[in-house]
A and B are shown apart, each in its own frame.
Chain A
Amino acid sequence: MIRRRLALVGAVLLVGACVERLAGPGHCPDYCPSGQITVVDTLLTTSINRDSSYRGYVLAYQAAFMLAANLPGATDTLDGRPIFRINGYGPRFRISTVDTSTGPILGADSARLQVSIVRRDTATHNLWLHLYRLPITIDTSTTFGSVVPFTDSLRSVNVDTLLAQPGGKDPVTGDSAVVADTATHRVLVSLKLDTAAARYIATDSGTVAYGIRIAADTLASIAFGKGAFGPSLQWYLRVDSLGMPVARTPGAPLSARLASFVFAPPPAPLDSTLAVGGVPSARSLLRVAFPKVIRDSAQIIRATLFLVPAVAARGAPADSFVIEARSVFADFGAKSPIDLRLSDTTVIHVGATDTVKIEVTNLLQAWAADSTHPTVLVLLPEREAQVFGEIRFYPSVAAAFRPTLQVTFVRRFPFGVP
């Protein structure tokens, strides 16, 4: 009996000890602690200095996509054209699969070229792809002026018309277009090239080069895939076998060895403004004199970088782009290694001239936490050379429009004071 009572008392005590509820509403100042959370908001107008821009981080041939555009503007037309080169099999090809005997390649009966449209504005209608043959000498240094105008036209297809066909296939031409990935809306366009278009020139080792020009009713700005989603060519060859031409189909299509794009007009040369974006991509460095009073004894709860555009953001109107602010591991100017751990971003709309605000709270908090971290901000496009968009901001030398930082921070709470 006594044991049971003791156990009951112990259980009650333990249950009671496990529950604690101390939080009560504060009625200040009478029943609140004397110390309060003090928020300070300050505009650092002269803390950003020694800013500069650099271009050439990602070139057109290094970009993840091939950009195509045909956008008439007030003064000029933004004209972007993918170019790519596909190496052939050489002058000879295996006749049989059971031995290694080869025969000279006489030519091609036909070929099938596949390209992937990986980005397309849904408002783009009546999209045409015009395929041209280009000199096989195109390389990474090829410019718009050296290949345009395209003259050797091969085929033209209307992607929207193809997509509207049953199964996305034109039974007359053999062309097709299908949405290969419903998640990314990637469209795979397959073009059938006849004997005249599919010229296999053995003396060139079968190497071919093509260029694509696009057109649409509006907003003709798209991106073609590279690499796994890049152009591929399936040859249907004629091979000489002891004087007899035989048809041979290589097992796998050939992919592009060079995939790039050319465009006009070229980006304006860098000047004193802070350029971000474009192709080749430009970045800007902003060096921040971070006040010690904030760095050492405060908690930053919000920091906003204000940038005033010097000119309206340029690029394809439909292709708003994201620029991001990052920090660097060390300040080596143009070659500063970027700290990829943290970033703050904002969206730039082409044609806009409004002041751009980037919340850089994460970066400034990182600076406050690590006093050895360089207080340098890098502005760069989130996807370098994947859009034509570029924006230029006023630099720190433009006193009235210079970049500024607005920092909201909390002073150290007076702990331990009654």
Chain B
Amino acid sequence: MRRADRWTGGRAVSAAGVLAALLLSASPPDRLSAQDSQFGIRGLGTPGRWESVRSRSTGGAFGPFDPLSPLMEASLADIGQLTGTAAGGTSNRDVLVGGTTTSLRATRFPVMGVAGPVARRLAVSVGFTTYLDKSWDVTLRDSFMLRGVLQRYTDEITSDGSVADIRLAAASRLTRRIALGAGLHVLAGSTRMTAERQFDDSTFHRVQQSAEARYDGLGVSGSVLIGLAPGLTIAGWARRDNRLRAKVADTTSAVTDLPLMAGGGVLFAPSPSARLGASVAWRSWSKAGAGAFDTWTWSAGAEFGSRRMPIRLGARGGQMPFGPGTEAPTEVAGSLGTGRAFAQGRALIDLGLERLERRGGGLTERVWTVLVGLTVRP
């Protein structure tokens, strides 16, 4: 290596470290969230995307095969060295409902984790991702008869927080073709909720109530990675969570059953500079109660070029678990991205751009999301 390259690489690692510190410390754990959605207001929330920026840039198709995406454990078997990763994304969301459009904006940090080998055939990972995003803010203008007079008021009900999925995972490559993994999931989080009403008639005092709801639950998961042929790999995974318990002021306010999930994928790498993937997943969200639906999701994507600076693109679609009416809302998205390795591959920055559209029950959401991921291999 030339001297200039070494110098550049060292500075890059330092800068990447600073950026990583910013990413990791910019927000407390209960602000870790994924993509908000109005569809999640009525239900448990908006399920998170258990994908790194690299996977998400391929529509999620590479999720089962990406050791830094907390979707499957078996892919950890090929992690090779200690690796830390974090991701952040800023979304601009247009909500169209009832003939009006509202522009919303949010910044989230959906994935964070550390993984590495601890023995010759064993790798472990610890980290967390968003299980359910529960941040929303609803304002409502209405009126009703009170004391014989039509009283106009403005309501604002907010929820700020999420349920995080804290995962402890282990994986082992049993043979050259087969790797197995398993994970234990602790669901924990909280939301700061407020309900306010301001009457136009100031004789009525402002209604202002607030509470902190805490959530907990447990889950287990298992996965397998099978190499069918050189360059062709398939994956399968399943997960079972028990229930989500909500507590307000140490009193259980709700217990909701959580879904059984299963999925699989295929990855085909015809050459070192081309990788194609696809995946599918099913989740039995209808167990969560009225207004919840079982969902199917699919994704397909590709990555081209060298691992030092690849080009990624993908598409995905499927259903949303919560919504009004009798049919699940749908979503479809397209994404693209790239990455850049620094310092002999010890630091990687991934960038992604996603365009998403959700439809259902008279509501349409269109979202642009800019994603930034940072991976460090010290």
- Does A123 touch B at the CB level, under 8 Å? no
Residues from chain A with a CB closer than 8 A to the CB of B308 are: none
Q: Is the CB of A415 within 8 A of B193?
A: yes
Q: Is the CB of B19 within 8 A of A27?
A: no
CB distance from A346 to the nearest CB of B (A): 13
Q: Is the CB of B140 within 8 A of A32?
A: yes
Q: Is the CB of A22 within 8 A of B207?
A: no
A17, B32: Cα distance in complex, Å:
12
Q: Is the CB of B205 within 8 A of A301?
A: yes
Q: Is the CB of A415 within 8 A of B211?
A: yes
Q: Is the CB of B100 within 8 A of A25?
A: yes
Residues from chain A with a CB closer than 8 A to the CB of B12 are: 2-3, 6
- Does A101 touch B at the CB level, under 8 Å? no
Q: Is the CB of A416 within 8 A of B140?
A: no
Q: Is the CB of A33 within 8 A of B105?
A: no
Q: Is the CB of A302 within 8 A of B204?
A: yes
Q: Closest residue of chain A to B15, judged by CB?
A: A6
- Residues 3-22 (chain B) with a chain A CB within 8 angstroms: 8, 11-12, 15-16, 18-19, 22
Residues from chain A with a CB closer than 8 A to the CB of B323 are: 30
Cβ-neighbour of A32 out of B11, B15, B138, B205 (below 8 A): B138
CB distance from B282 to the nearest CB of A (A): 22
Residues from chain A with a CB closer than 8 A to the CB of B246 are: 416-418
CB distance from B365 to the nearest CB of A (A): 10
Residues from chain A with a CB closer than 8 A to the CB of B118 are: none
Q: Closest residue of chain A to B138, judged by CB?
A: A26
Q: DSSP majority for the B interface?
A: strand
CB distance from B139 to the nearest CB of A (A): 5
- Does A299 touch B at the CB level, under 8 Å? yes
Give the bracket for the number of chain B residues in contact with chain A.
35 or more
Most buried by A among B90, B100, B138: B138
Q: Is the CB of A30 within 8 A of B18?
A: no
Q: Is the CB of A41 within 8 A of B138?
A: no
A408, B289: Cα distance in complex, Å:
34
A9, B16: Cα distance in complex, Å:
11
Most buried by A among B141, B158, B159, B209: B209
A406, B22: Cα distance in complex, Å:
55
Contact with A along B175-213 (1 / 0, CB 8 A): 000000000000000000101010100011111110101
Of B40-48, B62-70, B218-226, B295-303, which stretch is located at the interface? Answer: B40-48
Q: DSSP majority for the A interface?
A: mixed
A37, B141: Cα distance in complex, Å:
13
Cβ-neighbour of A30 out of B42, B146, B289 (below 8 A): B42
Contact with A along B218-259 (1 / 0, CB 8 A): 000000000000000000000000000011100001101000
CB distance from B143 to the nearest CB of A (A): 12
CB distance from B215 to the nearest CB of A (A): 8
Residues from chain B with a CB closer than 8 A to the CB of A74 are: none
CB distance from A418 to the nearest CB of B (A): 5
A31, B46: Cα distance in complex, Å:
13
CB distance from A179 to the nearest CB of B (A): 37
A37, B209: Cα distance in complex, Å:
10
- Does A181 touch B at the CB level, under 8 Å? no
CB distance from B21 to the nearest CB of A (A): 10
Contact with A along B360-373 (1 / 0, CB 8 A): 01110000001010
Q: Is the CB of A3 within 8 A of B137?
A: no
Enumerate chain A interface residues (CB-CB to B < 8 A): 2-3, 6-7, 9-10, 13-14, 16-17, 19-35, 37, 39, 41, 299-302, 359, 361, 365, 406, 408, 410, 412-418
**Top 10 A-B pairs, shortest CB-CB distance:** A416-B253, A30-B324, A416-B213, A16-B90, A26-B140, A415-B211, A26-B138, A22-B137, A416-B246, A23-B137
A-B pairs with beta carbons under 8 Å apart, 16 shown = A9-B372, A13-B90, A20-B105, A21-B105, A21-B106, A24-B95, A25-B97, A30-B361, A30-B362, A31-B38, A31-B361, A301-B204, A301-B206, A359-B203, A408-B146, A417-B246
